[in-house]
């Protein structure tokens, strides 16, 4: 069976890289993914997916329905990217989508358009190989992951899939793992520490004391891997109806053991202690929220928090992924995302924490260049990701072919 997958992938792989390049060439900031969504929808229809549609949030969904009932596997990648940042830092046009020296270059190549192309073509590969499924495959290209805390995935899970009559049993994210099998990561949250009082000087003093204290903590706070754990922005001051207020923005890493409410309480306590002696002020801490609008026009509130998550490294999904990749002759390596930069994350936290769906990551991109300048993805890894993802999906919902795979038949 793996011979057949590999043989067909020789043709599909080149097409997938070409498609990934086109995706990179189209800019798609969070909640502005419309043109990329057009490309994705057209490609799914061309490749023969069933039930290809776009939901009210702008997510694009395509399905391959099995011939028998069974579990439903979700392949998910986001269509949006982070901003380019300073163009001077880039060696070339960040939207070139060029392939050179075996690498596809451009914003989103690694996170996550290479992975998206691989997942779309993985479903196509299974179809081309005529391998029947006992269960369903849903490929969902979602919006608002980078700067929207996975609002697209929430909409998909809250509304889109239930209305279509599907429940997800397992999820595979195409986020950058360099084809490792990743089973979790730390989280982060953006907080607002609000200081209020009638005496504007008390408020000023308290806010500066709090900021200074947090900046000091930030300079001390790096985890064992040297990743930044905490960052704070200088206070913004306002005067409304005679009441002076200051807001200090903070970004903080969340580890698995931490609950959002406990962190809020702790930060509030620390801020209150830091403000002590600065006069009569009230200190409140909350998760930063912002009003956003999907490119489809639907409005939403984005909570700026991504929870830490991990599944059991010996979970059935992990075991089957390891076994199928080994049988397919792929490298088998497990781990977790490092998330070197605060603010990075995946939809895994939403899927596992909020919907109790076991999720893993398996994608061709690399964390190192994601979100940075000169982002790239290795083209051969995109091709292998198609094959590996197809092997994993088949192990979960393919009708087994044991006994039929000898050369002698």
Partner 1 sequence: MNVLVFNCGSSSLKYKLLSMPSCLELAGGEAQRVGPPTAKPSCIFHRADGGEKEYQVAMPDHAKAFEEVMKILKDEQGVEVHAIGHRLVHGGTKFKHHTLVDESIWEDLDSTRELAPLHNPPAIDLVRACQERYPDLPAVLVFDTAFHSTIPDYAGTYALPSWVREDMGIRKYGFHGTSHNYVAAEAAKMLGKPMEDLNAVSCHLGSGGASLCAIVKGKSVDNTMGYSPLQGLMMSTRCGDLDSAAVMRLLYQHAGDHQAVEDLLNKKSGVLGMSGSTADIRDVMEKSSAVGISEGVKSERDEKSERDEQREGGATPEMAATLDVYLWRIKKYLGAYLTAVAAAAGKPADAVIFTDTIGETVGLARRVICTGMEVFGLKIDPKRNMNPEKLPADVAEDDSRVRALVIQTNEELAIARQTYAIISGGRDKVSASGGAA
Partner 2 sequence: MNLLILKSNKQDLEYVFYRGKQRQSDWTVKRCPGVDDEKLEWLASLKQISADCEAMADGAAVEAVALRVPFGGTVFRGPTLVTSQVESKLKDLIPQAPMHIPVIMNLIEACQVVFAGAAIVLVFETSFFADLPDRESLYGLEAQSARSMKLRRFGFCGIYHESACRAAGRRQREDGSRAVPNILSICLEPQPEISAVRGNRPMMVTGGWTPMEGIPGQSNCGEIDPSIVLALSKKMNWGPEQVNRTLTRESGLGALAGKAVTLEEVFGSEKPEMVLAQEVLKYRILMACGAGVAALAGVDVIVFSGRYRKLAEILGPYLQSKFSAAFGDCQDGPDYFVLEDSLDKIVADQVGILMRSVGKQAIGA
Residues that bind partner 2 (CB under 8 A): 1-4, 7-8, 10-12, 15, 67-68, 128-132, 134, 319-320, 322-324, 326-328, 395, 398-409
Q: Which of 63, 328 has the CB closer to partner 2?
A: 328
Instruction: Return the one option of partner 2, partner 1, none that residue 316 interacts with (CB less than 5 to 8 A, by type).
Output: partner 1
Residue 311 CB, nearest distance to partner 1 (Å)?
15
Report in angstroms how near the CB of residue 403 gets to partner 1 at its nearest: 3
Instruction: Identify each DSSP E strand in 241-308 by its residue range.
Output: 243-254, 282-287, 289-293, 299-303, 305-306
Return residues touching partner 1 (CB under 8 A): 316, 319, 400, 402-404
Q: Which does 15 bind (CB under 5 to 8 A by kind): partner 2, partner 1, none?
A: partner 2
Q: Which is nearer to partner 2, 324 or 369 (CB)?
A: 324
**What are the tokens at 122?**
């993985």
In angstroms, give the least distance from the CB of 126 to partner 1.
18
Of 216 and 316, CB closest to partner 1: 316
Residue 186: which of 353, 308, 56 has the closest Cα? 308
Q: What are phi and psi of 188, to 5 degrees?
A: -155, 160
Q: Backbone dihedral region of 117: left (phi > 0), alpha (psi from -120 to 50 degrees) or beta?
A: alpha
Q: How far is the CB of 221 from partner 1 (least distance, A)?
A: 42
- Cβ count within 10 A of residue 83: 13
DSSP 23-36: HHHS--BTT--HHH
Comparison of 133 and 153: residue with beta carbon closer to partner 2: 133
Find out whether 142 and 59 touch, Cβ atoms under 8 Å.
Answer: yes
Binding partner selected for residue 301 from partner 2, partner 1, none, CB under the kind-specific 5 to 8 Å limit: none
The runs of H, that is alpha helices, within 129-247 are 151-155, 161-164, 200-220
Residue 322 CB, shortest distance to partner 2, in Å, is: 8
With CB cut-offs between 5 and 8 Å by kind, which of partner 1, partner 2, none does residue 326 bind? Answer: partner 2
| Residue 10 interacts with, from partner 1, partner 2, none (CB under 5-8 Å by kind) | partner 2
Of 132 and 400, CB closest to partner 1: 400
Name the burial class of residue 91, with classes exposed (0-12), middle (13-18) and buried (19+) by CB atoms within 10 angstroms of its CB.
exposed
- Judged by beta carbon distances under 5 to 8 A according to partner kind, the member of partner 1, partner 2, none in contact with residue 11 is partner 2
Q: Considering the complex, state which of residue 125 and residue 274 has its C-beta at the smaller distance from partner 2.
A: 125
**From the list partner 2, partner 1, none, partner contacted by residue 327 (C-beta under 5 to 8 A by kind):** partner 2
Residue closest to 321 by CA, chosen among 390, 392, 384: 392
Q: Smallest distance, Å, CB 350 to partner 2?
A: 29
**Residue in 193, 154, 164, 119 with CA at minimum distance from that of residue 360:** 119
> Of 25 and 395, which CB lies nearer to partner 1 in the complex structure?
395
Alpha carbons 405 and 66: distance in angstroms, whole number: 21
Whole-angstrom Cα distance, residue 202 to residue 215?
20
CB of 66 to partner 1, least distance (A): 15
Q: Cβ of residue 15: shortest distance to partner 2, in angstroms?
A: 7
Q: Which one of partner 2, partner 1, none interacts with residue 200, CB within 5 to 8 A by kind?
A: none
Give whichever of 98 and 134 is closer to partner 1, judged by the CB atom: 134
């Amino acid at each position: 069976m793996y011979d057949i997958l590999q043989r067909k992938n020789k043709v599909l792989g080149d097409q997938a890289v070409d498609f990934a390049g086109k995706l990179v060439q189209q800019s798609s900031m969070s909640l502005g993914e419309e043109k990329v969504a057009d490309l994705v929808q057209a490609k799914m229809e061309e490749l023969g997916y069933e039930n290809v549609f776009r939901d009210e949030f702008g997510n694009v969904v395509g399905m391959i329905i099995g011939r028998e009932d069974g579990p439903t596997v979700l392949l998910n990648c986001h269509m949006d990217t982070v901003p380019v940042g300073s163009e001077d830092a880039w060696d070339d046009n960040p939207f070139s989508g060029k392939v050179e020296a075996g690498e596809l270059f451009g914003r989103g190549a690694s996170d996550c358009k290479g992975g998206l192309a691989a997942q779309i073509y993985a479903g196509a590969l299974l179809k081309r190989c005529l391998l029947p499924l006992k269960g369903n495959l849903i490929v969902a290209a979602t919006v608002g992951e980078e700067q929207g805390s996975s609002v697209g995935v929430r909409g998909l899970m809250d509304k889109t899939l239930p209305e279509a009559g599907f429940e997800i049993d397992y999820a595979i994210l195409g986020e950058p793992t360099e084809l490792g099998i990743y089973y979790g990561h730390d989280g982060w949250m953006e907080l607002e520490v609000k200081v209020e009082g009638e005496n504007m000087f008390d408020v000023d003093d308290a806010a500066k004391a709090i900021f200074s204290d947090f900046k000091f903590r930030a300079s001390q706070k790096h985890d064992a891997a040297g990743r930044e754990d905490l960052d704070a922005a200088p206070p913004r001051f306002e005067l409304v109806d005679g009441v002076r207020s200051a807001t200090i923005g903070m970004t903080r890493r969340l580890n698995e053991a931490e609950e959002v409410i406990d962190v809020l309480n702790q930060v509030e306590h620390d801020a209150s202690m830091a403000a002590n002696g600065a006069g009569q002020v009230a200190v409140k801490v909350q998760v930063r929220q912002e009003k956003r609008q999907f490119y489809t026009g639907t409005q939403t509130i984005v909570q700026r928090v991504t929870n830490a998550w991990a599944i059991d490294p010996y979970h059935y999904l992990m075991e089957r992924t390891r076994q199928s990749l080994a049988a397919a002759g792929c490298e088998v390596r497990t781990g977790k995302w490092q998330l070197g930069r605060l603010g990075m994350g995946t939809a895994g936290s939403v899927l596992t924490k909020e919907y109790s769906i076991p999720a893993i990551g398996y994608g061709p991109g690399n964390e190192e260049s994601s979100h940075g300048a000169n982002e790239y993805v290795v083209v051969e890894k995109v091709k292998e990701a198609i094959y590996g993802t197809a092997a994993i999906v088949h192990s979960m919902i393919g009708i087994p072919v044991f006994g039929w795979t000898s050369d002698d038949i």
